Structure 1
Amino acid sequence: MPKPLWLLVIGMIINVTGASFLWPLNTVYIHDHLGKTLTIAGLVLMGNAGAGVIGNLIGGALFDRVGGYRSILFGIGVTFTSSLGLVFFHSFIPYLIFLILLGFGGGMVFPSMYAYAGTVWKEGGRKAYNAMYVAQNVGVAVGAAAGGLLASFNFTWIFIGNTVMYLIFFVIAVIGYRNLTHNSASPVVKSVLDERLVIKSKSRFRALIWLCIAYFICWLAYVQWQSTIASFTQDIGISLSHYSLLWTVNGALIVLGQPLLSFVVKNWLRFTKTQIIVGISIFMISFLVASQSHAFIGLMTAMVILTIGEMLVWPAVPTIAGELAPKGREGFYQGVVNSTATGGRMFGPIVGGLIVDLTGIQSMFYVIFFLLIISLFIAVIHDRKIVPEASSQVA
């Protein structure tokens, strides 16, 4: 990897480590420590994610207009200030306000980081986005483990750790990203249909929107592990440290499994679309296993299966967005992708919380499985109307 990408990877690790102190335990904190229902907890997380959607779109647009450096610094400034507020204010209303601001600031950072990755190493293709994805999960593994440990003493230590990590990330960004430049090398032309085809802008964006719908559903399902399933683990007597261990294994498996994943992708899943289809199918298996699990070992098995699915799906979608994006619109396209993921995180907790509060956890598993079938169908057909430019000169 080129040096600029290493700087981005290091920054992503620090950023996500700080965020991962808090996000896996949000529902538990709101439900158990602030005394709110799962539905209220879902609404709070919905506000956090909704602010993230806005931050994603603004951050992506700012990358195209004023560059990633200013966009990233502004986003970090918001997240640092918000996490500092959480250190001193622990009642429900301040928690709600600062969590929304954290969502907005974090949302601004991610599309710029991914757009930077795609532009500083265009010839890397999927490798650049996968490097950022792996960096995220190194942060998840470290942050979730540390967060569970800190929470066992006092939740205030989570907020302090969060603040310190954002401060470190800010310093790295100020020093390392000021002179970050785009690679001028010509990109390898690819499409989601065939690497030899160049596709129309309208068809590109249409294909991206359809794919993002499938992506949204996947995140709607995935986020249940951070919300309703997190609370479910408490109901069946699994400790916070053991629940955090699920996410530690998730992150560790993503990092350690990269050599095997590269071998599988190179030999059997060479097309990005195929990776997404197989990944969604694995998601479905994971939720089937989780629905029948009432002990830690069963949920750990389901988490391992889920992780294999996300290793295929999560890096593939921004890769396609990078391939589809016209020159000068990289930030916007990554903003759309990141806002889709954030939208899934926004509606997932409230949808899951309502289902569980009204009908129970098993119903939630059934609904999620049905939604994943829809996602799989959309992933299969999303690119069917992409038209090669060579076949028509009409826009």
Structure 2
Amino acid sequence: MKNKSVLFTNMLVNMGIGLIMPITTLYIHGTLHKSLVTAGYVLFCFSGAMMVGNLIGGKLFDSWQQKPLMFYSGSGVVLALVFLGLFPQWPIYPILITLYGLCLGGLNSSINGYIAFLQVSDPNIFNNGYWFASLGMGLATFLSGILFGISIRVVFFSSAILFLLTTLLIKFAFHTIKKTTVEKNPIATKGAVRAWPSILLVCLVMIIVWICYEQWNSNVSVLMIAKHISVPKYSFLFTISTIEVILVQPFMNRLFKPSFRSEKSRIILGLLAFALSYVSIINTGAYWRYVLGITLVTLGEMLALIAIPALLNRYATDRNRGTIQSLGSFSGSMGRALGPLFGGFLITHFNYDWTFLAMFLIHLFLILPVLTLKTKQEK
């Protein structure tokens, strides 16, 4: 397997994120004694800062130096986490968690831009990166509750250590990528301009998928409890999802060879899997239906959400790879930020069943514009 240091870095970043995010609302509401509305605002500020960091990081990646950008973004994350560990009190907590989101957004988009360059010589790096990220996230979400039971300071300091290891790997194991200047000719520039409608369409798909996906992280838990299914059973769904990713993902590289047509097919199949996941939990109190739903969601994630950054990279040039990857990261962050609000609005004004039916239809509708996507050469 190529680029092991980059893949391991991706795993460490996701472990660092996975330690903090599952206990954020619990800490704000249960320990700091703030309302759930306040917790929602804090998470929204975190997501908003991360989106800004995504865009700034992507732009700087293309116009500045890659390694210093990743190193300074990672160092900013470490400092924010150290201060959170030292001062996990209100009102400094929301300020520091927002700063953490800003630096994390810059780090994520710059690492994704770096991976996009490596894909030229390592076509499976996005697939392999997703596998390592899922492994890291699975380990971290398992440890998060245990460490939180000891102290919130232990959570923040543990995450800081993971990001410190990340910055050290970037400093000593990453190499500077030399960009080509072929894209300066008028024909290539014209092709790049014509690619933007396709890029924006793919980003729109990413936003909508994540808006719907976030229901599994928020509103589905409330529904399952209302159906007298326990919280541990709800949490176990994500354990099932992680196990499925670890076991199944390696076979995806064999089933789908890297190409534009293959990545486009993966997005379409992924959208279909996402759509069916919402149908599977309409009007049911049976736990196996939720297991089926999370399995379909995981399948959709392995198909579509990995293919999207790889497909976006096919529209990029060496002059804008970071920017285009940052748009993908920005879209995912926006969808995650809007998801609970959008889902809560629909559920409040209609009900769970109509909301999930709408999400099923939305995913089917998205397949139609994805079918129209073409490569730069076909335009």
Q: TM-score under structure 2 normalisation? A: 0.86
Q: Comparing 153-162 with 16-25, which one deviates more in the overlay?
A: 153-162
1:392 is matched with none
- What letter is aligned with 1:173? I
Distance of aligned partners of 1:182 and 1:128 in 2 relative to their CA distance in 1, 3 Å threshold: farther
1:317 is matched with 308
2:263 is matched with 272
1:69 is matched with 67
In 2, Cα distance between equivalents of 1:269 and 1:72: 29
Q: Comparing 162-171 with 352-361, which one deviates more in the overlay?
A: 352-361
**Within 5 Å, which residues of 2 pair with 1:62-141?**
62-91=60-89, 93-125=91-123, 127-141=124-138
1:192 is matched with none
Cα shift readout 1:52-85 (whole Å, capped 9, x = no counterpart): 1111111111111222211112221222222223
In 2, Cα distance between equivalents of 1:359 and 1:156: 41
CA contact (8 A) 1:60 1:332 kept: yes
2:147 is matched with 150
2:177 is matched with 181
Distance of aligned partners of 1:77 and 1:355 in 2 relative to their CA distance in 1, 3 Å threshold: farther
Per the TM alignment, residue 154 of structure 1 is displaced from its structure 2 partner at its CA by 4.7
Distance of aligned partners of 1:357 and 1:38 in 2 relative to their CA distance in 1, 3 Å threshold: farther
Match for 1:159 among 156, 159, 166? 156
1:346 is matched with 337
- What letter is aligned with 2:364? I
Residue 9 in structure 1 maps to residue 1 in structure 2? no
Distance of aligned partners of 1:388 and 1:277 in 2 relative to their CA distance in 1, 3 Å threshold: closer
CA contact (8 A) 1:47 1:346 kept: no
CA contact (8 A) 1:46 1:345 kept: no
Residue 290 in structure 1 maps to residue 288 in structure 2? no
In 2, Cα distance between equivalents of 1:22 and 1:295: 31
Cα shift readout 1:172-210 (whole Å, capped 9, x = no counterpart): 222222x343598x9xxxxxxxxxxx9921221111101
Q: Comparing 311-320 with 160-169, which one deviates more in the overlay?
A: 160-169
In 2, Cα distance between equivalents of 1:210 and 1:38: 34
Per the TM alignment, residue 230 of structure 1 is displaced from its structure 2 partner at its CA by 4.2
Q: Which runs of 5+ in 1 are unaligned?
A: 187-197, 390-395
The runs of 4+ residues in structure 1 deviating greater than 6 Å are: 384-387
Q: TM-score under structure 1 normalisation? A: 0.83
Cα shift readout 1:117-157 (whole Å, capped 9, x = no counterpart): 222341333x1221222221111111111113334555444
2:362 is matched with 371
Q: Comparing 44-53 with 244-253, which one deviates more in the overlay?
A: 244-253
Residue identity over aligned pairs, in percent, reads 22
Per the TM alignment, residue 50 of structure 1 is displaced from its structure 2 partner at its CA by 1.3
CA contact (8 A) 1:52 1:104 kept: yes
Distance of aligned partners of 1:26 and 1:351 in 2 relative to their CA distance in 1, 3 Å threshold: farther
Per the TM alignment, residue 45 of structure 1 is displaced from its structure 2 partner at its CA by 2.2
Q: Comparing 305-314 with 223-232, which one deviates more in the overlay?
A: 223-232
Q: Comparing 315-324 with 148-157, which one deviates more in the overlay?
A: 148-157
CA contact (8 A) 1:120 1:182 kept: no
Aligned to 1:122, what secondary structure does the other structure show?
Answer: coil
CA contact (8 A) 1:24 1:226 kept: no
CA contact (8 A) 2:315 2:375 kept: no
In 2, Cα distance between equivalents of 1:98 and 1:55: 14
In 2, Cα distance between equivalents of 1:227 and 1:182: 43
Distance of aligned partners of 1:296 and 1:93 in 2 relative to their CA distance in 1, 3 Å threshold: farther
How many pairs were matched up?
A: 373
Q: Comparing 314-323 with 248-257, which one deviates more in the overlay?
A: 248-257
Q: Comparing 259-268 with 15-24, which one deviates more in the overlay?
A: 259-268
Residue 238 in structure 1 maps to residue 230 in structure 2? yes
In 2, Cα distance between equivalents of 1:220 and 1:70: 33
CA contact (8 A) 1:50 1:346 kept: yes
Per the TM alignment, residue 159 of structure 1 is displaced from its structure 2 partner at its CA by 2.6
Cα shift readout 1:320-355 (whole Å, capped 9, x = no counterpart): 111110222111111111111111112112222444
Distance of aligned partners of 1:295 and 1:141 in 2 relative to their CA distance in 1, 3 Å threshold: farther
CA contact (8 A) 1:16 1:139 kept: yes
